[in-house]
A and B are shown apart, each in its own frame.
Chain A
Amino acid sequence: MGQEPRIGVYICHCGINIAYKVDVEAVRDYASTLPYVVVARDYKFMCSNVGQEMIINDIRNYQLNRVVVASCSPRMHEKTFRKACEKGGLNPYFFQMASIREQVSWVHEDEVVATEKAKELIRAAVFRVIHHEPLEKRYVDINPNVLVIGGGIAGMQAALEIADAGKLVYLVEREPSIGGHMAKFDKTFPTLDCAACIMTPKMVSVGQHENIKLLTYAEVESVEGFIGNFKVRVRKKARFVDENKCTGCGECAKVCPVSLPNEFEYGMTNRKAIYRPFPQAVPNVFTITKEGWSPCRSACPANLNAHGYVKLAHEGKFEDAFALIMESVVLPATLGRACPAFCERECTRGEVGGSIHIRLIKRFIADWYYENVGTKPPFRVDELKNEKVAVVGAGPAGLSCAFYLAKEGYKVVIFEKEAEPGGMVKYAIPEYRVPKDVLAKDIEVIRNMGVEIKTNTPIGPDGLTIDELFAQGYKAIFLAIGAWKDRRLNVPGEDLDGIYTAIDFLRRVNSGERVKVGNKVAVIGGGNSAIDAARVAKRLGADVTVYYRRTRHEMPAFPEEVEAAIKEGIKFEFLTTPIGFEGNGKVEKMELIRMQLGEPDSSGRRRPVPIEGSNFKVDVDSVILAIGQVPDSEVFGKFGIKLNRDGTVYINPRTLETSRKGVFAGGDAVTGPSTIVEAIALGRKAAYYISEYLKKGSLDDVNFPSSLPTVDKRRVLERRKVEVIPRVKIKELPVEERISNFEEVELPLTEEEVKKDSGRCLDCAICCECKQCVKACEAKAIDHQQKDEIIEIEVGSIIVATGFKTFDPTPLRRYGYKKYPEVYTSIEFERLNNASGPTEGKIVMKNGKVPESVAIIHCVGSRDEKYHPYCSRVCCMYSMKYAHLIKEKTGAEVYEFYIDIRSPGKMYEEFYNRVQEEGVHFIRGKVAEVTDVAERPEEEGKLIVVAEDTLTGRILRVPVDMVILSVALEPADGAEELARILGIAQDKDGWFIELHPKLAPVSTASDGIFLAGCCQGPKDIPDTVAQASAAAAEALSLIMRGKVEIESATSYIDPEICVGCMQCKSVCPYSAIDYDPSLGVCVVNEVLCKGCGLCAATCPNKAITLRHFKNEQIFSELEGILL
């Protein structure tokens, strides 16, 4: 600069705002004594034309190169005075302002103190301005696209105005359709126009406009950037329906089995899981509400869609239910009898009456299918493939893998070493649990899918080897050899006759052998095999005792099985284990020792510890050892397949492939003894991976289709009131009838019981993926695999039009909302009036009768200290509208209980008069309570409104049939979240704050973001539309300007001092700092820098300066104050 500073100081009186407390003349005189001050003046209104001219002239006449104005806050007039300097030919940054109004005259009482402080602030400003440097003005381009958030009348109006002007608008609406609250109304005041008639043309225009990109069922997730340059991330939620294909025919909703309260009708009617909010929806497509997976489905090891088949059973669609079951599991009739039903343990119904009989319903469906359709599989093979796959073992895992591979079209052969297929189900599970013929039918279905089962064909030392199988042309092999080798106790006498191992014993009995067990049988163990063995031995006529080394609490057997065993007279002895057997060739005595529980072992259960000297002996005829099984896998180890230490087959946990390429394994062979359903799950998973392996060769990028998150039970129970309905008791054969034979113990449910029980389902996930909709949709528009879509858009301005919600009057218990059926909120009553509402537009009570008298209570939640102190503006008018409609439709007596009538709009007062002339009773007084306790005969059966009539001073009791509560308007749900995302503010009631309540009602303090409609404060439709047009005009004005000025002060990094530590780069919120490796320093990108100063504060070396806030400028200012 070089030039000596020549400063002009101007002190404003601001009328009397400054002058009444600050001695402006004294301050002026003081200012003229400050260094470099060439001229000092005072004037009444510096911001006026005259004041500004003064500055401009002085710059010329006195060759000023610095200007200080002491007046109001820089927020008010810094721009004004900078412009004046510019007009005078001075760079606007040679200007400094001292605030002597907001900081001095408005906050100090003492005039002497005020004047002194004013002098100090001006001195500080003068000292600072000496060091100012000129800066260039900066502009950014405005992106002409506009984002409108909210598709109600405000959003639609704004969008149409902007789109008609030729600019692109993104309209984001979180509901499946646009229309907002206005779509719920019937007639609107004061003209009584039908809301739908005036709005649907707009909705259609929005839907069809070439400049409006409509994103419904979508929400704004994040907004970055600044005016003219916003980057917005929108999440378009999955509706599971293709918007481009759906024709809105509604056939899907007809067959959907899931009903839930309709949100659009405020719960007064139900809708289906696949729905359209109202018939005139735009876009006119359906949406599926799917909240995840129901707990039953998540709990099942095979993720079988229990929710889906239970709903289909309720509809009587047993064939479809069977197909749905077989999509995930095989052996449905077996599972319906022997599965431990993990699903039922998680069923939400369990808390309100007992879980759904998911297992028994599956049994019914399978039995029904076999009886009415047969054993043909419910699937067709689309495309036969050439590859052959070998499965070793025809147990549940092997059968499952084979079935699902055959379904894909592969040729599958199962090699089974026993005489019959079925594995443990056939040979270990007793017939009183799963009868022979039931399993046979289950296996028939698998055969009919094209699977070949070669029985009496072992793989191993006595038969084929793995190499031989590959040589025979099998491209992949699945090992499902189960866990058949019983563990041993390794105690003396274990090899005596009459001592059996459980699996061996059960296999013999299941093969038809009548094993002679004698009279006293001891079963050792606490798992399912032990109980099975015990109950079988009982049926063979013995007196059975089960000995277990821990307590009942630690027994791994299913509790229901233990219960049944006890009922059948089987005895239990806990905390004891055998240490030896005695006998002459055949066992006669068993020696046991008592145990106590010590520290927990690896299974988490407390380890049993023998008690010294507690030995005792018992007489036995037979002993059955059921202490666990391991896979008989030794031979497979020789085939190059890695085994774990306990004998289970080692696999890659993701792909189920063994250590040998092309050989997979699953079931008990991998997990150790487990459940049928877990084996079936692994079989199907292996089939998936084998198929992918055969198609792609490598399994690196292959993943099993993922699951959806499990729905939280709390949410389900909070959705609506759930009645406790107990489940039907499971019927069993009486003990006397079953104890000597192997007849099936559990009796089935009847068809009626199945339908009744499945009706108790709570639809946890809402959509159950039964796929009936897919079947019904001719346009093939349904896609259950659809995922949320993230859409990134760039816009220059944003209009917020997110509307309101109505106040929930439940806490005001004295009005009886939700207690008495005939108390409605205004918006609910609006739906009763609407022709597409729950009563088709007729005003009727829930009992079907037409009301003869209606009370309308004003100010519910509004003008109320405890809830909302503000007036909601529209309630008086809509209350009177209801009075008119009620009179017109029913002729009933109408009583309006008001505090004040607010009817300020065009034609509003006339409407009020008209309603009064129609004979509506207006009673001025707040309602104390709505009660159903009658005191006089004419009050019987009615709701009595008790209120004070303040104009006559009397307490009234007015009996009516129906009560309408005119509830307050509140900010819409999610307003707080949206305010945070956009960076705009909410006032104390939650409405978004405008820039200035009188002069800037549609702008916000965040440049480029505008407001329209009720989100800024409650208002009626005319005002909403006006605001929407105003916001559109502001947005268009911005677009027309093309550019907008942004902050000139940017950062500068001195390369001499910078060491390249990059701390500044990591804190910059605008990513405006880059590291230059060639220089080893950081550099500021001036285009992106917003002048926030964070980098300058962060730099540990003080290498960064923020222009216009340099150290010497700030220190000089401080000096001026502290002098």
Chain B
Amino acid sequence: MKAVFYPGCTLETAAGYEESIKAVNKVLGIDLPELDDWNCCGATALFSVDKLLSLVFPARNLAKAEKEEAKWIVTPCNACYATLRKVKAILRENEALREKVNKALSAEGLFYRGSISIKHLLDFYLQSELFEGIKERIKKPLNGLRVATYYGCQYTRPITGEETDDPEVPNNLDRLLVALGAEVVDYSMKTYCCGAAQMVSHEKGCLKLINRIVRGAIKEGADVIVAICPMCQFNVELGESKLGYRVPVLYFTQLIGLSLGIPKKMLGLEKLMISSNPLLSKI
């Protein structure tokens, strides 16, 4: 099963996400090559600017992956995940648009067939063989660490047919963290929006959203909020700092890394705005 990695624009600047992914993949012996010459997916912004461009940008990545004969394109970012899924669904239904997009892509000698599957990095690690591999290599189980799993709003929605979890009460990340030895709290804000890019233009409104996400975690006595998307992690961390809360927000791959016994330095923990020391002392 050939899979390519589509990092997305925000991965490089995310606080330890890229480092932890690399470190975890190394320990597990996973070879997940990066898609060659990938481009920005356009996320939510481009849809409001130019319809055709907003389809071509993501389709180019899909077509390139198909050209490399990959069956899966794996992304660590919710927005990329949603954008790619949406485009696949739109182009599947609308033949006229698909023709237009392929016309544009032909300029680079590319053709989008629609055969590639889009996977979130979380689901990639949950494939049974890889998941077993993780479980076997756990050196330092998370010792009952209380985690609030924050999936963000785009992991399970919109419903295009490729989602792998319940839209309102998802369980995939919970399962993974329980296997690592953590205790997942009954967290009702799992899929609530963090405000995304509106953080820049409508900060006050977004802070309200962040407030309920973090208060929900505090109410359940969580030690850490676990994110699966750079935008979510950034918004929640920055937002809560402005509000005066101090619940650490980590990437799920950082927690995997910690349980596998990978040293903190290799997981980029020092990049976090809110220090992870309180939770490190617990495990």
Contact = CB atoms under 8 A, between A and B. Distances in A.
A813 B167 CA distance: 11
A935 B215 contact: yes
B212 A813 contact: no
B216 A814 contact: no
A933 B212 contact: yes
Contacts of B188: 931-933
A931 B188 CA distance: 8
Contacts of A935: 208, 211-212, 215
A779 interface: no
A934 interface: yes
B283 interface: no
Contacts of B208: 935
Contacts of A813: 168-169
Interface in B156-173: 168-169
Nearest to B167: A813
Interface in B202-217: 208, 211-212, 215-216
B202 to A, nearest CB: 15
Contact of B168 (A814, A931, A934): A814
A935 to B, nearest CB: 6
B228 interface: no
A933 B219 contact: yes
A933 B190 CA distance: 13
Nearest to A933: B216
B189 interface: yes
A813, A932, A933, A934 — most chain B CB neighbours (10 Å):
A933
Interface string A933-957: 1110000000000000000000000
A16 to B, nearest CB: 43
Contacts of B216: 933
Say whether chain A's binding surface is mostly helix, strand, loop, or mixed: loop
A813 B188 CA distance: 10
Contacts, number: 18
Contacts of A931: 188
Interface string A892-931: 0000000000000000000000000000000000000001
A8 to B, nearest CB: 60
A935 B192 CA distance: 15
Nearest to B215: A933
Nearest to A812: B168
A932 B169 CA distance: 16
A814 B208 CA distance: 19
Contacts of A932: 188, 219
B204 to A, nearest CB: 14
Contacts of A934: 215, 219
Interface string B164-187: 000011000000000000000000
A933 B148 CA distance: 14
Nearest to B216: A933
A931 B186 CA distance: 13
Interface string B137-162: 00000000000000000000000000
Contacts of B168: 813-814
B166 to A, nearest CB: 9
B188, B212, B215, B219 — most chain A CB neighbours (10 Å):
B188
Nearest to B219: A933
Contacts of B169: 813
B188 to A, nearest CB: 6
B227 to A, nearest CB: 18
A333 to B, nearest CB: 45
Interface string B214-247: 0110010000000000000000000000000000
A981 B180 CA distance: 55
Contacts of B211: 935
Contacts of B212: 933, 935
B214 to A, nearest CB: 10
A934 B218 CA distance: 11
Contacts of B215: 933-935
Contacts of B219: 932-934
A935 B209 CA distance: 10
A932 B186 CA distance: 12
A103 to B, nearest CB: 38
Nearest to A820: B188
A934 B168 CA distance: 20
A769 to B, nearest CB: 41
A948 to B, nearest CB: 15
B17 to A, nearest CB: 27
A931 B191 CA distance: 14
A145 to B, nearest CB: 53
A822 to B, nearest CB: 15
A934 B188 CA distance: 12
Contacts of A933: 188-189, 212, 215-216, 219
Nearest to B168: A813
B1 to A, nearest CB: 34
Interface string B54-65: 000000000000
B192 to A, nearest CB: 10
Nearest to A814: B168
A932 B211 CA distance: 14
A611 B32 CA distance: 51
A974 to B, nearest CB: 30
Contacts of B189: 933
Nearest to A811: B168
A931 B189 CA distance: 10
Interface in A324-374: none
B194 to A, nearest CB: 15
Nearest to B218: A933
A935 B215 CA distance: 7
A770 to B, nearest CB: 39
Interface in A804-819: 813-814
Interface string A538-561: 000000000000000000000000
A814 B188 CA distance: 10
A1037 B229 CA distance: 72
Nearest to A940: B219
A814 to B, nearest CB: 7
A410 B216 CA distance: 75
Interface string A489-504: 0000000000000000
A813 B211 CA distance: 22
A813 B219 CA distance: 19
Nearest to A931: B188
B150 to A, nearest CB: 13
A933 B187 CA distance: 10
A813 B170 CA distance: 12
A935 B188 CA distance: 14
A695 B49 CA distance: 98
B25 to A, nearest CB: 35
Nearest to A813: B168
Nearest to B213: A933
A613 B215 CA distance: 76
A934 B215 CA distance: 8
A821 to B, nearest CB: 14
A823 to B, nearest CB: 13
A813 B168 CA distance: 8
B184 to A, nearest CB: 16
A931 B220 CA distance: 13
A935 B216 CA distance: 9
A164 B215 CA distance: 66
A53 to B, nearest CB: 62
A860 to B, nearest CB: 16
Nearest to B208: A935
A545 B9 CA distance: 70
A814 B168 CA distance: 8
Nearest to B214: A933
- Going nearest first, the 4 A-B pairs with the smallest beta carbon separation are A933-B216, A813-B168, A933-B215, A933-B212
Given A931-B188, A933-B215, A934-B215, 15 more contacts: A813-B168, A813-B169, A814-B168, A932-B188, A932-B219, A933-B188, A933-B189, A933-B212, A933-B216, A933-B219, A934-B219, A935-B208, A935-B211, A935-B212, A935-B215
5 contacts: A813-B168, A931-B188, A933-B189, A933-B212, A933-B215
